[in-house]
Amino acid sequence: MVTLIGMGPGGPGSLTEEAVRALEGAELLIGARRLLSAVRISTAERIPEYRPEAVFDVIRPAPDRNICVIYSGDTGFYSGAAKLITLLEQKGIPFRVVPGLSSVQIFAARLGLSWQDWRLCSAHGISLDPVREVLKGGDVFFLTGGNTTPATLCRALADAGLGGLSAAAGEELSYPGERIRRGTAAELAGEHFAPLSVLLVRRAAPDRGKSDHKAAGCERAVHKTAADPGKGDKQRLMISAMGSGSGKTVLTCGLLEALTERGLSCEAFKCGPDYIDPMFHTRVLGVPSRNLDLFLQGYEGVRRSLASQRRRVALIEGAMGFYDGVSGTTDMSAWELAKTQRIPAVLAVRPSGSSVTLAAQLKGVLDFRAPSPVVGVILTACRPALYDHLRPILERETGLPVLGYLPPMEEAAIESRHLGLLTVEEVEDFKARFQAVGEQIEKTVDIDRLLSLAGGSENISKVAASDEKSEPDCTIAVARDEAFCFYYADSLDALERAGAKLVFFSPLRDKKLPPCEGLYLGGGYPELYAGELSENSSMRKSIAAAVRGGLPTVAECGGFLYLQEILESSDGISYPMAGVLPGRGFRTDRLQRFGYAYLAAETDSLLFRAGERIPVHEFHYWESTENGSDLAAEKPDGRKWRCGFTSPTLYAGFPHLSLSGSLPLAERLVMAARKEGSL
């Protein structure tokens, strides 16, 4: 039997189940070299040939063999397949045709669209006027090839005054080098594309009212590989929202649980400087969640963090509202991160008291900035009946697919305190709670479609991440317990890469500082454990003696309060602390100097050099009578103040640092620790 198999754009992800079975049972494979190299599920003999007459000459001597002839299927009826069929029919050789998924179908799935509702024009090796096709109205998919690429079509549209039309291009679809780019026709006209690509030009938002998606049933795609990349690929997707309190963290953790239960390896990232949400991600997955902070790390630092992705799927949880950035701008926002790193975003939306108005708000989010990386919506704390009512309205009015919902659940209600959610150790039945959320998401969110919308990691970062770490030649003690738990995973990694061995200890329970050449006291909730910290007098004395003796020390926020003389607890009682620094920490009723700022160093010290400008973040309700004055702080909006204690062996202050940013802060701490060890 001869089987003619369509492979769509040629990648294994476009094979149907019937095609896979045929290839597994094949004795001989015939096709173009690039297609043969893409088929790894068969050990059959392979002959690289695609010309119909030459293929027929291979088949004719052995018509009884189980032969598969593979074609890419984006130009007409598999191009040369039509002529081979004629030759087979003339000689009476039995054959069958197994169609594949086309590039258009795969591209539409990546964009979350229904390809059947659009016009399709082939620009593969034929003369085509894209302006005339677009002016016919509606939205058009163009298949490109030869000398015609998405860029040449978009240039023609731009020259005709249609450069402002929304466009998207996909190349190498289902291959490891798959890339999807969105923008206006004018923007795409200036880019370079592979010849075999797909271009979508949009004239209006499609009517999504006829969508056959029913999240309550969550029917799985028949060809699951179309929504699921090859085993070697990595995917990234952002979960953002229109504002805080939309359920981003619970949704992200539930999705991580559901994806892991499916057997997919996952990891997580968090936009911005938040410490608590990454703790939730880490507890669900058992692997560190990393922060992506354009302000603290810079663009290169963020790319390095993204390049550290080692697992199949990465979910990036947004911060605040999608566009909320620095000082009332979109700078450093989740939108800017998604845009610059080419990460598709799904919005977690908690509906309340509106329907069409909610659609208007979503449409506003889509149109507020271009390009929009938003590709879908998931409704949170939404009852099934409300979901059934809202879904067709939102899809019709916005063109966005509504991918499902998370109903109100007792397990999804996580308590908060003054700095955000409770820490993971304080959440009762954490594992069972998020297993329940994950099971619910599996029932009411279309996970296959969600995965089809995720971006490939090769689209985002070309910066290589290094796992290489220097051989440890010094030890840095890191305070880590319920009172001190605010650390960035990349900061700890940066210390290890610089040559430090990290030893964790508890100022709450351990009796003294472990042997070390450096000390890192991070932030957290020392005010909640002030009594216990004070009672552990041997630890307080041990740390005080070490810091006074010149042990290189970094103390941020909560760690800074611990080094001072007095700390007021959450119930208003004052307790003695380490007493290395002057000052009394006390509670206030609002956040103090909240947000990003820069520190200006005027003299050399442990971490900083004179003239440097260091990005930092503050997030605390407790204030001190002595904030220090060694550094000049300034917010992006111009507000200024003095803060911090610095010396050749100390940084202590409320501002939090990223040790993985553009300045070699981790290296400087390790260098000082090495000197301490050599004394």
DSSP result, 321-378:
STT--GGGSSTTSHHHHHHHHT--EEEEE---S-SHHHHHHHHHHHHHSSS--EEEEE
Phi–psi pair at 9, nearest 5 degrees: -75, -5
* Secondary structure of 349-362 in HEC code, one letter for each residue: ECCCCCCHHHHHHH
Cα angle at 256 between 252 and 262, to 5 degrees?
145
Q: Give the integer Cα–Cα distance in Å for 582 and 473.
A: 33
Highest mean pLDDT among 25-39, 180-194, 514-528: 514-528
Quick one: pLDDT at residue 289?
93
Give buried/exposed letters for 574-604 (b at 16+ CB in 10 A, else e): ebebbbbbebbbbeeeeeebebbbbbebeee
Confidence of residue 116 (pLDDT cuts 50, 70, 90): low
Measured CA distances, 117 to 255, 289, 323 (Å): 30, 40, 31
The per-residue pLDDT for range 540-579, each reduced to its tens digit, is 999 999 999 999 999 999 999 999 999 999 888 999 999 9
Query: With 80 as the cut, is the pLDDT of residue 147 above it?
Result: no
The per-residue pLDDT for range 80-113, each reduced to its tens digit, is 677 788 888 888 888 887 767 777 777 887 787 7
Quick one: pLDDT at residue 15?
73
Quick one: pLDDT at residue 161?
80
Q: Are 540 and 578 in contact (CB under 8 A)?
A: yes
Q: Position of tokens 């599920």?
A: 41
Confidence of residue 208 (pLDDT cuts 50, 70, 90): very low
Q: Rounded mean pLDDT of 262-289?
A: 91
Query: With 80 as the cut, is the pLDDT of residue 9 above it?
Result: no
Q: Give the integer Cα–Cα distance in Å for 302 and 7.
A: 37
Quick one: pLDDT at residue 98?
77
Quick one: pLDDT at residue 566?
96
Confidence of residue 126 (pLDDT cuts 50, 70, 90): low
Q: Give the integer Cα–Cα distance in Å for 125 and 578.
A: 77
Q: Rounded mean pLDDT of 639-648?
A: 95
- 482: nearest Cα among 561, 566, 423: 423
Query: With 60 as the cut, is the pLDDT of residue 162 above it?
Result: yes
Better-scored residue on pLDDT, 632 or 81 = 632
Q: Is the dihedral of CA 110, 115, 119, 122 positive or negative?
A: positive
Quick one: pLDDT at residue 515?
95
The letter for the amino acid at 632 is A
Quick one: pLDDT at residue 416?
56
Quick one: pLDDT at residue 570?
84
Q: Give the integer Cα–Cα distance in Å for 287 and 558.
A: 25
Better-scored residue on pLDDT, 238 or 224 = 238
Q: Give the integer Cα–Cα distance in Å for 470 and 500.
A: 8
Helix (H) or strand (E) holding 540: helix 537-548
Q: Give the integer Cα–Cα distance in Å for 48 and 470.
A: 48
* 313 DSSP assignment: E
- 575: nearest Cα among 566, 584, 562: 566
Q: Rounded mean pLDDT of 195-214?
A: 57
Confidence of residue 424 (pLDDT cuts 50, 70, 90): low
Q: Rounded mean pLDDT of 650-676?
A: 94
Query: With 80 as the cut, is the pLDDT of residue 528 above it?
Result: yes
| Residues labelled as active-site residues | 557
Measured CA distances, 445 to 218, 233, 626, 640, 676 (Å): 6, 23, 51, 47, 55
Question: In the predicted model, what is the mean pLDDT of the chain?
Answer: 85
